[in-house]
Amino acid sequence: MTEPLRLGIAGLGTVGAGVVKIVRQKAGLLEARGGRPIAISAVCARNRAKDRGVSLDCYDWEDDPVALAQRDDVDVFVELMGGSDGPAKAATEAALKAGKDVVSANKALLAHHGQALAQAAEASGAVLRFEAAVAGGIPVVKALTEGLAGNDIERVMGVMNGTCNYILTRMESAGLTYEQAFAEADGLGYLEADPNLDVGGIDAGHKLSLLASIAFGTQVAFDDVELEGIGRVSIEDIRQAADMGYKVKLLGVCQMSGRGLEQRMSPCLVPALSPLGQLEGGTNMVVIEGDQVGQIVLRGAGAGEGPTASAVLGDVLDIARGTRVSTFGQLSDKLVKAEPAKTSTPAPYYLRMSLLDKPGALAKVAAVLGEAGVSINRMRQRSHEQDTAPVLIVTHKTTRAALDEALCAMKGTGVVEGEPVALRIEQV
Amino acid sequence: MTEPLRLGIAGLGTVGAGVVKIVRQKAGLLEARGGRPIAISAVCARNRAKDRGVSLDCYDWEDDPVALAQRDDVDVFVELMGGSDGPAKAATEAALKAGKDVVSANKALLAHHGQALAQAAEASGAVLRFEAAVAGGIPVVKALTEGLAGNDIERVMGVMNGTCNYILTRMESAGLTYEQAFAEADGLGYLEADPNLDVGGIDAGHKLSLLASIAFGTQVAFDDVELEGIGRVSIEDIRQAADMGYKVKLLGVCQMSGRGLEQRMSPCLVPALSPLGQLEGGTNMVVIEGDQVGQIVLRGAGAGEGPTASAVLGDVLDIARGTRVSTFGQLSDKLVKAEPAKTSTPAPYYLRMSLLDKPGALAKVAAVLGEAGVSINRMRQRSHEQDTAPVLIVTHKTTRAALDEALCAMKGTGVVEGEPVALRIEQV
């Protein structure tokens, strides 16, 4: 095979420009590893005039990504535009329909339309790969789809939004408020144009839904992901958690249980000394638990030009080598529609609340928890000078339903001021 | 494709029995993921009568692994016998010659004969995969060969012998001597029949040489690995290292520099708070550094029935899916014969020595280091009641050659008692 594998690259932001650079600078290496030369036929982006730090003169320019996707001289359509609909979707569909393989970094597109796109790929015999869509440079899609395919996967967990982890780490290490850390991340250019994609957990939720599909052989179901962002995490909770040996992380968890498919993206406490607890700054981590392999931890840069381009090239080289893996690891008609779990796997919870300084207040809270079947593992009430006393409780394993019942009943006690904070403690 | 992929399994120890169990118990899952049923045609081991906890009645039995490897009803020869020569080699060669794909867990065989076996595979159009040979259940061969193939790899590091890491961890956490921790590991059945394979670094060195070949496109060169086991690591060094913020690990490092290919397997100090430093007990970790992706860390169980069988099944399912990757990631005739580096990349070193209690002793040692061009970063001399004073030195980055010159000159000073300990501090 000496025919080059010809790419059409749509989207020339940081990652797109990075891919072009690697293809130009590492031609020998890529050919040796892929078994054939990697070439670029044409590129496409919104602004042709922009300087991207790499010459594009030797590639055809297309204004329309759909036209790029359909070109006869394109074998692989590389989609780096982003967006769950619009041009990215139209061009990806056009490429697959035309039998072109697609390499995509577009988590939103896959999370919303993964099943239909997988079907479209199979219909024309194309493959659709998306390593770059999940956890940047970490080859986690490959690990889960291929390397660990002999396992029944029990749980996948991940810190998959570097911006959120940066904000939480800065809150802890520098004592910043959420607003201050957010502003700092914004100033560094870490936030998406719509920051809610990051801090609302949506971006990480997209990634989680893709991993869940591979792990459990289910159709991607992003709409079923329980989403809670980090906007309500306070410096107080981070400090108290640290004091008890935990870190607060925006943690994605998916697992299949008798209850159905659980997919959660929410702020959780994890043991400070666990690999997840030790993860600082913008780095990503994915933990995969299989019945045979036990726990596998993968850690690396979750974003940025080099890491994301590395993931794109990994997929491109697979295609060059002739590797043909189904989008989510099995034929799309084998993927079942998972029933979302109505309740989550029991876990301990961290609770923080302000109690009015009245005799018997703590007893009332304890009673309410007991009546709901939530038992207390640790409790702390600190000395205080205000009218309210800060109280921390770590429960034993409980269901979220029992906890919610207790939290609801607490309102009726008249001794709890404001809303108690409740954070799941994920056992890792 | 509904024709089953038919395995012939040679070697029915823990891992072999584990593979049989998975094939029996997960037939549906494996077929869905592999795209075709996975079947076992025949098996082979030394002792037919042994109870392996799984029924073998429905598989043909072969006494001779070479005969097994050549059977018409075997598509994939699964080699789980071990040993760098003898039956394992003969059977693997026979399988490849007959055009059978081979999945091997045999690090010694690959480390000694990898290049010839890769050539044999290509000659008949077979593939030879060996995920299970390196770091047990961690899909590191796949990550390096495929997922990170778009990178120039800069360095690969790994703690890849769980037994050694267990011994070192127990020395630190329980204050055991090397001999005590060794005896404990032996009692738990953690040691190979020839313990030097573990504690001499040979087993881990085999694995390192395989990763180096993939990383740098070089022919496997196990004989060029600088090997130093953990037998000379003392509890004193572990304590002193901990006190300065380091952990002692049997660390494999390979990197390609202007000096040539460096492959070292030796006790090193790594920062206690780094992922490698935080690794405890029998767990394995591999750190891959690529020019695009930055640092990727992979962590998981490095041995045992489930993890190793998981790796075997990953390779089997790749073959079922039709994936054909060259043994070391490129055609064997592209693999260059690497020049082993004559000197290693400069690094700081930890030195511990006993100084005779004479005026000017410390000055003499400092002078000798200075004359060799080795500069001192930190030095500690502790109070003492004996005739000798324990002295610790951490150097700035230096070459091993300069250090050896200094160590040699120290003997001539007449103030150093015995052999100084010198451990490389690997910057991670």
Q: Residue B318: is its pLDDT beyond 80?
A: yes
Task: Quote the minimal CA–CA distance from A38 to chain B in Å.
Answer: 11
Q: What is the mean pLDDT of chain A?
A: 95
Q: pLDDT per residue over B143-163, tens digit each?
A: 999 999 999 999 999 999 999
Among A277, A161, A275, smallest CA distance to A227 is for A161
Residue-wise DSSP of A364-379: HHHHHHHHTTPPEEEE
A204 in Cβ contact with A164 (< 8 Å): yes
Torsion, Cα A125 A131 A134 A136, to 10 degrees, reads -150
Of A33, A150, A297, the CB nearest to B317: A150
Q: pLDDT per residue over B378-404, tens digit each?
A: 999 877 777 888 999 999 999 999 999
**Rounded distance, CA B315 to CA A328, Å?**
18
Which pLDDT band, with edges at 50, 70 and 90, does B1 fall under? low
Chain B: residue whose CA lies nearest to A307:
B293
pLDDT at position A281: 87
Chain A residue numbers touching B159 (CB-CB < 8 A): none
**Rounded distance, CA A330 to CA B29, Å?**
10
Please report which helix (H) or strand (E) contains residue A10, including its range: strand A5-10
ipTM: 0.96
Sheet holding B60-62, edge to edge: B60-62, B38-44, B5-10, B76-79, B101-104, B128-129
Which pLDDT band, with edges at 50, 70 and 90, does B7 fall under? very high
Please identify among residues 23-62 of chain A the ones whose CB lies closer than 8 Å to any CB of chain B. Answer: 26, 29-30, 32-35
Q: pLDDT per residue over A252-269, tens digit each?
A: 999 998 889 999 999 999
Among A250, A228, A241, A266, smallest CA distance to A166 is for A250
Encoding tokens for residue A101? 């393989």
pLDDT at position B343: 87
Please state the rounded mean pLDDT for residues A99-106: 98
Which pLDDT band, with edges at 50, 70 and 90, does B207 fall under? very high
Percent of chain B with pLDDT over 70: 100
**Rounded distance, CA B248 to CA B266, Å?**
10
A397 is an active site residue: no
B100, burial (CB in 10 Å: exposed 0-12, middle 13-18, buried 19+): buried
> What is the separation of C-alpha A406 from the centre of its chain, rounded to a whole number of angstroms?
31
Does residue A137 sit in helix, strand or coil?
A: coil
Does residue A147 sit in helix, strand or coil?
A: helix
Please report which helix (H) or strand (E) contains residue A76, including its range: strand A76-79
Q: Provide the H-helix boundaries in A288-413.
A: 305-321, 361-371, 400-411
Q: How many contacts (CB atoms, under 8 Å) link A and B?
A: 200
Kindly determine whether residue B139 and residue A149, on different chains, have CB atoms separated by under 8 Å. Answer: no
pLDDT at position B383: 76
Which pLDDT band, with edges at 50, 70 and 90, does A358 fall under? confident
Tell me which of A292, A315, A318, A324 to substitute to probe the interface with B (most B C-beta atoms closer than 10 Å): A292
Residue-wise DSSP of B326-353: -TTSS-GGG-B-PPBPSSPPPB-EEEEE
Phi-psi category of B272—alpha, beta or left, where left has phi over 0 and alpha has psi -120 to 50? alpha
**Rounded distance, CA A138 to CA A325, Å?**
18
A21 in contact with chain B, both atoms CB, cutoff 8 A: no
Encoding tokens for residue B297? 């860390």
Which pLDDT band, with edges at 50, 70 and 90, does B192 fall under? confident
Residue type at position A371: E
Q: What is the mean pLDDT of chain B?
A: 95
Q: Which residue has the tokens 């692994």?
A: B65
B329 in contact with chain A, both atoms CB, cutoff 8 A: yes
Please state the rounded mean pLDDT for residues B32-37: 98
pLDDT at position B233: 94
**Rounded distance, CA A61 to CA B184, Å?**
67
A395 in Cβ contact with A374 (< 8 Å): yes
Q: Which of the residues of B are catalytic? A: 207
A125 in contact with chain B, both atoms CB, cutoff 8 A: no
Percent of chain A with pLDDT over 90: 92
Q: Residue B210: is its pLDDT beyond 70?
A: yes
Q: pLDDT per residue over B125-141, tens digit each?
A: 999 999 999 999 999 99
Cβ neighbours for A255, distance < 8 A, ≥ 6 positions apart: A154, A155, A156, A261, A262, A345
Domains of chain A: 5-133 (3.40.50.720), 140-302+326-334 (3.30.360.10), 349-425 (3.30.70.260)
Percent of chain B with pLDDT over 90: 92
pLDDT at position A1: 52
Percent of chain A with pLDDT over 70: 100
B313 in contact with chain A, both atoms CB, cutoff 8 A: yes
**Rounded distance, CA A205 to CA A251, Å?**
10
Residue A146: DSSP 8-state: I
Residue type at position B236: E
Chain A: residue whose CA lies nearest to B299:
A297
Chain B residue numbers touching A247 (CB-CB < 8 A): none
Which pLDDT band, with edges at 50, 70 and 90, does A235 fall under? very high
Q: pLDDT per residue over B223-278, tens digit each?
A: 999 999 999 999 999 999 999 999 999 999 999 988 899 999 999 999 999 999 99
Q: pLDDT per residue over A43-78, tens digit each?
A: 999 999 999 999 999 999 999 999 999 999 999 999
What is the Cα Rg of chain B in Å?
A: 24
Of B34, B146, B292, the CB nearest to A306: B292
A23 in Cβ contact with A54 (< 8 Å): no
Cβ neighbours for B182, distance < 8 A, ≥ 6 positions apart: B167, B191, B195, B199
Among B66, B380, B80, B323, smallest CA distance to A321 is for B323
